[in-house]
Amino acid sequence: MKFPIQPRSIAFRLIVAVLAVELISSILVVVLSFGYERHIHFRAFDVMLHGRVDSILGAVQDAEDPGDHVILNQADLHLPPDDIYEVWDENGHLLGRSSNWQGSANGPGAGPGVPTEPWGDISKLTINRQHYRVLRVQGSRTVDPGEQGGGKLRQVKVLYGSPTSHAWHAIRGAVEFYAAGSILLLVITGPLIAWLLHRGLLPLRQLAALASQVSVDAWQFSPPDSARTTPELAPLTHALESVLQRLERSFLQQRAFVSDAAHELKTAVAVQKSSLQLLAMKRRSLQEYETGLETCLADSLRLEALVSDMLTLARAESAVPTTGPQLCADLTACVQQAVTQLESFAALRNVKIVVVAPDAGEAPIRIPTAPEDCARLLSNLLLNALQHSPHASAVELRLTLDSESGSPVAVLFIQDHGEGIASNALPHVFNRFYRSDPSRTRNTGGTGLGLAISKAIVQKAGGSIHIASQPDPNLPNQGTTVAVRFPIAQ
């Protein structure tokens, strides 16, 4: 069973992390098991020592002599050959000791290496490199209990030790069992974890395989159901779908823009080329040359305006963040500037411009956009309204503040009383190079980019723009209303 797991992959890191946790847990289990087994075995060991000391005290008997001494009946003792013991009476006389230990004749438990802990305590002793656990007990025996007064009480001191090698052997066996079990668990769970991760990451691999098939010629992306239903992958799946949809729209929009721009530029260049070819076909008079050059100049100016609008649109749609302080524009001042700029054009068309805005003495309404962009936006919208207004009509500009949504918003309405926009053309008015009436628009010198530029400027500032128009043959001059909403700059 082989899995293509790279050292830097998430699966490899998860496997290493899980195995590391298991290893640390195994070490803790071994350490805890050592402490537990040691406690249990030596507790049983101490109980065994007390039991054997009781056996020795039971073997202490009356010596049946005039002095009422006691003796140790070793024939009744059945003790392990490796254990050591010695028994002393209250006068310091040795009653007996094990044959495998020399002890000392200087007093009870006073031999070399014999512990000097208080009686009743358990201590350690090393004899011939063998470790013993020693119990010192001071007991008593009653001599002639049938006599008057209940007999005589004799004190006896017992020192008993047993080697700890058997206990340590049992402890090591238990610890080795736990350690072997932990190692076996690591050996088994390692491949098992790798297999489970391989199966668990299958929806992610399927999602990546489908996403890798997306290209500029194939935008179809249908995530598998396993990725949609997996809680951890569902956000990523939705994000990929959303990103690819936006990229597809942007790519198609850019492709259409390039195609439309090439068509527009080709037409403008062809017109200019035809004008020059027409002049060069034969010798002409000075006046004809001047007229032809004026025509070529007008074509050049139209071409220059088209290129300028394309550059403006590209700059407005750019998402590159600007450095330095945020640019702000005074919307009230921009409105007044646009009205002043187009007053002559409105007078030629006999159209009145009505402005309803806060007084100049009030606090300025600042919006987060560059002043030149704000001026271009208002100039485009107002010029478009004037061009589509009939003679002896009016164009209304209303600037207000709206605070109902919580944060203040600047709202600008531009309303004309022209023929309006057809319902089938209204959804496309913000498209690049779109003209609902191409012949009329070309007469006005438009490039079809004005509303697209306006929308890009508004969206870059975080605002919104909306056009409402409901032309009715029975109700002429209903006109069009443009509503622009801007957040207030901080």
Tokens read off for 105 = 């004749």
CB atoms inside a 10 Å sphere around CB 86: 24
Q: Alpha-carbon distance 230 to 197, whole Å? A: 14
Q: Is 143 helix (H, G, I), strand (E, B) or coil?
A: strand
> What are the pLDDT digits (tens) for 99-146?
888 875 445 554 445 555 566 678 888 888 889 999 999 888 887 766
Non-local (6+) Cβ contacts of 268 within 8 A are 299, 302, 303, 306
pLDDT in tens, 260-301: 777 777 777 887 788 788 778 888 888 888 888 888 888 888
* Positions of the chain with pLDDT under 50: 1-3, 105-106, 110-112, 321, 439-444
Strands 351-356 and 393-402: parallel
The H or E element containing residue 270 is: helix 234-280
- How is residue 51 annotated by DSSP? H
3-state secondary structure of 52: helix
Cβ-proximal residues to 386 (8 Å cutoff; 6+ apart), any chain = 342, 345, 346, 349, 351, 353, 395, 416
| Overall pTM > 0.95 | no
Answer for the pair 54, 79: CB distance below 8 angstroms, yes or no: no
In this prediction, residue 105 carries a pLDDT of 46
What is the reported pLDDT for 447? 66
The sign of the CA dihedral 176, 181, 185, 188 is: positive
pLDDT (tens digit, 9 = 90+) per residue, 3-31? 455 566 777 888 888 888 889 999 999 99
- The dihedral sign for the CA sequence 204, 209, 214, 218: negative
Q: Which amino acid is at 231?
A: P
Q: Which residues contact 429 (CB under 8 A, 6 or more apart)?
A: 421, 436, 451, 467
Residue 286 in tokens: 């000075």
- Asked if CATH classification 2.130.10.30 holds for the domain at 329-487, the reply, yes or no, is no
Are 417 and 479 in contact by the 8 Å Cβ rule? The answer is yes
- What pLDDT, on the 0 to 100 scale, is given for residue 473? 56
What pLDDT is stored for residue 477 in this prediction? 57
Distance CA 299, CA 356 (A): 39
Domain ranges of the chain: 14-171, 228-317, 329-487
From 263, 245, 241, select the one nearest 253 (Cα to Cα). Answer: 245
How far apart are the C-alpha atoms of 237 and 211, rounded to whole Å? 10
- Are 147 and 67 contacting, i.e. CB atoms less than 8 angstroms apart? no
pLDDT value at residue 78: 87
pLDDT at 44: 95
CB 367, CB 461: distance < 8 Å: yes
Q: Minimal CA–CA distance to 362: which of 384, 388, 331, 383? A: 331
Residue identified by tokens 């009744």 is 76
Compute the radius of gyration of the chain from its Cα atoms.
Answer: 52
pLDDT at 474: 57
- Burial code (b: 16+ CB inside 10 Å, e: under 16) for 406-442 equals eeebbebebbbbbbbbeeeebeebbbbbbbeeeeebe
- Quote the CA–CA distance of 423 and 473 in Å, as a whole number: 13
Residue 299 phi, psi (nearest 5): -65, -40
pLDDT for the residue 429: 84
The CA distance from 277 to 185, in Å, is 90
Q: Which pLDDT score, from 0 to 100, does residue 417 have?
A: 87
**275: its two tokens:** 């004008």
Eight-class DSSP state of 369 = S
Residue 101 is classified by DSSP as -
Secondary structure element (H or E) that encloses residue 295, with its range: helix 286-317
